[in-house]
Amino acid sequence: MIETKLTELLDIRYPLFQGGMAWLATHELAAAVSEAGGLGVIGAGNAPPEWVQAQIDALRRKTARPFGVNVMLLSPYAAEVMEVVIENKVPVVTTGAGNPGPWLERLKNAGCRVFPVVASVAMARRLARMGVDGLVAEGGEAGGHVGELSTMVLVPQVVDAVDLPVVAAGGIADGRGVAAALALGAAGVQVGTRFVCAAECVAHPRYKEAILKAGDRDAVVSGRSTGHPVRCLKNRFWKEFTSLEKAGAPPEELERLGTGKYHAAAILGDVENGSVLAGQAAAMVNKIQPAADIVTELFAGAGQVCARLGGLAP
């Protein structure tokens, strides 16, 4: 049992957020993670508000444990999804790809704990001043839309900059990563890529297979020139996209080329012509297993590391 400020604040058994991955973090996965003692998170992605409402209803039919919704702020539905989250008094709201400042007061009045994802110390400081409940500090090892800093340097700097619980994200896929995050001062971890290979995750079997097969240098970043760099697995789509990018294609053309490609891979299983978003930890994911087993393994492993390191103390 690992208790931190985060387990206490959110009434969860393990200091763990499941990543709020668009298309993949549905009620099936989130309910399983929450039932196992972590914080399951529904990923709203670009989905409309009715979809998010149905997901929350389905999750609540399966578990009474706390859960979260991730609001992707670049979504055309972000404002309407925020309304759903507020009306439903969702226990924990994480946000990605932007600044949730405009909704903070109303979220807090509804009793939602707000944990924005940040990729820089400046954003962490700004949001701490605005009164968020905690932060997810996400390093560039993560999948999807990423910042420049690695988890190893981002987390301790965010921990020092704010007086709030910090959840470390990016590159964490086993007990060693959990222990390392705690060593950096984090109050918990967020794990995404490993949960894509949970039995309950609705990802297409070929998407899961691509992650299981990934090697250490297969999760690469493209789209830096668009201002929205994205980490995904190397494939045919990635090759075409990066060669156009290198040839100086305008950002609008690249954005257009990317549209719908994540859905094609994640749900339709077109892992060659679609975009297989995944973090660098894909190489460390080697089996499909129930979400509850992932949760147990992460913290049993972390406990072993902590015991071993305790033995090294002078």
Query: What are the residues binding ligand TUI (CB under 6 A)?
Result: 22, 72, 74, 96-99, 117-119, 123, 138, 144-147, 228, 230
How many CB atoms are closer than 10 A to CB 11? 10
Nearer to ligand TUI, 122 or 307 (CB): 122
Nearest 5°: phi and psi at 175?
-60, -30
3-state secondary structure at position 173:
coil
Nearest residue to ligand TUI on Cβ basis:
144
Nearer to ligand TUI, 65 or 204 (CB): 204
Q: Residue 61 CB, nearest distance to ligand TUI (Å)? A: 28
The CA angle 212-217-223, to the nearest 5 degrees, is 105
Q: Residue 314 CB, nearest distance to ligand TUI (Å)? A: 38
Nearer to ligand TUI, 44 or 302 (CB): 44
Residue with tokens 């071993």, as numbered in its chain: 308
Nearer to ligand TUI, 35 or 80 (CB): 80
Nearer to ligand TUI, 96 or 177 (CB): 96
Q: Residue 180 CB, nearest distance to ligand TUI (Å)? A: 20
Q: Residue 72 CB, nearest distance to ligand TUI (Å)? A: 5
- Residue by residue, DSSP assigns 89-149 as T-SEEEEESS--GGGHHHHHHTT-EEEEEESSHHHHHHHHHHT-S-EEEE-TTSSEE--SS
240's CB contacts (< 8 A; 6+ apart) are 257
Nearer to ligand TUI, 113 or 145 (CB): 145
3-state secondary structure at position 175:
helix
Q: Look at the alpha carbons of 265, 203, 72, 184 in this order and tell me if their dihedral is positive or negative.
A: negative
Q: Residue 194 CB, nearest distance to ligand TUI (Å)? A: 16
The CA angle 55-59-64, to the nearest 5 degrees, is 150
Single out the residue of 176, 173, 114, 175 nearest to residue 143, CA to CA.
Answer: 173
Q: Residue 48 CB, nearest distance to ligand TUI (Å)? A: 15
Nearer to ligand TUI, 21 or 180 (CB): 21
Q: Residue 227 CB, nearest distance to ligand TUI (Å)? A: 9
